Amino acid sequence: MGVTFFEQQARAHRSTSYLVALFALAVAGVVLAVNLVVPLAFYLLTRGLVVPSPQTYALLTLITLAVIGLRTLVGVVQMRGGGDAVARLAGGVRVERGTRDADERRLLNVVDEMAIASGVAVPHVYLLRGERGINAFAAGYSPHEAVLAVTEGATRTLTRDELQAVVAHEFSHILNGDMRLSVQMIGVLAGILFIGEIGNVLLRSRASDDRRAGGAVGLVGGALLVIGYAGLFFGRLIKAAISRQREFLADAASVQFTRNADGMAGALATISAEPGGSLVANRRAETLSHMFFANGVSLWFGSLFATHPPLLERIARIDRRFDPIAYLTRRRPRAAEPPEPDRTLAPPVRAGAMRTGAPLGAPAATSLADSSAATESRTARVATVLGSVGRVTPAHVQYASAVLENLPAAVNDALADGDGAAALLLALALSDDELARKQQLALLEADGADALARRADVLANQLRGLAVETRLPIVALAGPSLRRLDPDARQALSRRLQAVVDADDRITLEEAVLLTLARRHLAPAAGRNVPVRFRSIREVRDDARLVLSLLAHAGAGDTAAAFARGAAVLELGDDTRALPRDAMEFAKIGDAFERLVMLAPFVKGRLLEACVETIIADATVSVVETETLRSVAAALDCPVPPLL
């Protein structure tokens, strides 16, 4: 099965410690350079009149550490904004979902497909306008709060297969936890590069009425610039040490996701043939060089400091028989490709109407893996679900494409802006019962949301015939627009959604799923770094009990037996009874997930294993159970693809 999602996440967390160790060595190197160069500069400037004393070296060390520490702290704080902050740093412009540009629409469709296929929230997509090089990067702290930035050169030059391969490569970084480390690296490395920036400023401002003073400033500035190159040396060395092997793994994952080696190898071959290659002109390219799909900056001693392996070596790792020259000779011109279908013109789909590998409108209770033998062991079933976390297959991509092609036009139109996405979320919560729906709409109108209520009512009619499995993709697609709402609007929407759900004084499991996912997008801290705070399930046993109770009630079998099976995995001790349904208030569920998401990776894996054991306790799995499981996994930052 290879390395699991949870092992990848654990490795990413361990790499953070590795980064800290390398940073400490780099700081020591910069301090040593300062203590050598600055006293020497003053000694030469004063013609030997000033001889450095031990106190001078101690003071220089303290000042250097303070400057590096302060700049590093500022860099880390700047990166608290997550992927959006990084994309803006690179000069990215957000691609609007309602764009009429054919290339931008094609990019959004490819990203949407990969997000639905992998079970993560659809990332914000940024375009690096004016960048002719072919490149891209993913940034963020968790799979459900990521952004994807692509150069204009990539969108205008690559074929759809090549673009899909590049996007799949970046999704591999999202799923494997690489991008979290990459964002942290930006803040950490800012400190050791800052002294060189100071030197550059001093050199530019060295003009002075006092020629001697101006010379002194220039000499100190030059010394600091030399030291800055020492910082750049260590910074690039750290990036190369951490990044290069991850690129090989992401290339392999891209091929696995798409089952199209020519797409990945072809994208790399196209980069090698383009005049601009993969170079990025933005002045922040050096800062972000470790995050790009391919080398974004020119390097001296490239083989030593390159953050990415050579293009030909990457192609050979993908397919040794691939001939770049032959591929480029027969490559279909970008302009000859058929235009991307306009999703806003897609016809509506009714429950059970979509077929792709497995029926979307599945029966109320189906086998966990229809293609498996009836005698498949319970252990194998659990392993199948856990092994699917963070793993995408071509069947998942095909499924996602079918979902997108069959969404009603009104839904696609609503996804294009924040107000429409808000109405769509409320429409998903509206009851099918006309009397109950009128009561829910009256609550919205009483809260001053008349227009929102009317639009939600219209959308609810469009959603009524959709299969149950389309609810999660719709919420995922609404994510980017929801996250663009200002904090007050998000808080108001969260309150209104809660009021609509609570209108009948009870919360269904479907509503719990919806509210759980909505909370991920509407939370004030969406996109922020979530630290690991709990390393044992016993630290959050009450929260785990609540989640297992939620899943136990989702099934049609024996609730007590289902809960007991999941509780046994977690060894909850005396807590072997499921909470009653009326005790599972959404506020408690939301608070539980806020704590559970801070579990260590392997402990999350154990919790998810308990969740799977709970839903398969009766040997059958309903659509509601699978969707509830996937929403629980999403809340834990463990993306589970569609269970085909």
Catalytic residue among 170, 511, 613, 625: 170
Q: Is 356 helix (H, G, I), strand (E, B) or coil?
A: strand
Q: Are strands 93-94 and 124-128 parallel, antiparallel or unpaired?
A: antiparallel
Q: Count the Cβ atoms, other than its own, within 10 Å of residue 65.
A: 15
Contact 251, 317 (CB under 8 A): yes
SS3 content of the chain, % helix, strand, coil (to 5): 65, 5, 30
Give dist(CA 311, CA 330) in Å, integer.
Answer: 20
Assess whether 585 carries a catalytic annotation: no
552 φ/ψ angles, rounded to the nearest 5 degrees:
-65, -40
Give dist(CA 334, CA 232) in Å, integer.
Answer: 38
Cα angle: 178, vertex 181, 183; to 5 degrees: 110
Q: Can you point out the beta strands (E) in 533-577?
A: none
- The DSSP symbol for 534 reads B
Contact 162, 120 (CB under 8 A): no
CA dihedral 162, 82, 426, 637 (to 10 degrees): 80
Alpha helices in 46-177, H assignment, sequence order = 54-78, 83-89, 102-118, 152-157, 160-176
Cα 622 to Cα 364, 369, 399, 404, 616, distances in angstroms: 5, 12, 19, 23, 9
Enclosing H/E stretch for 598 = none
The amino acid occupying position 5 is: F
User: Which residues are tagged catalytic?
Assistant: 170
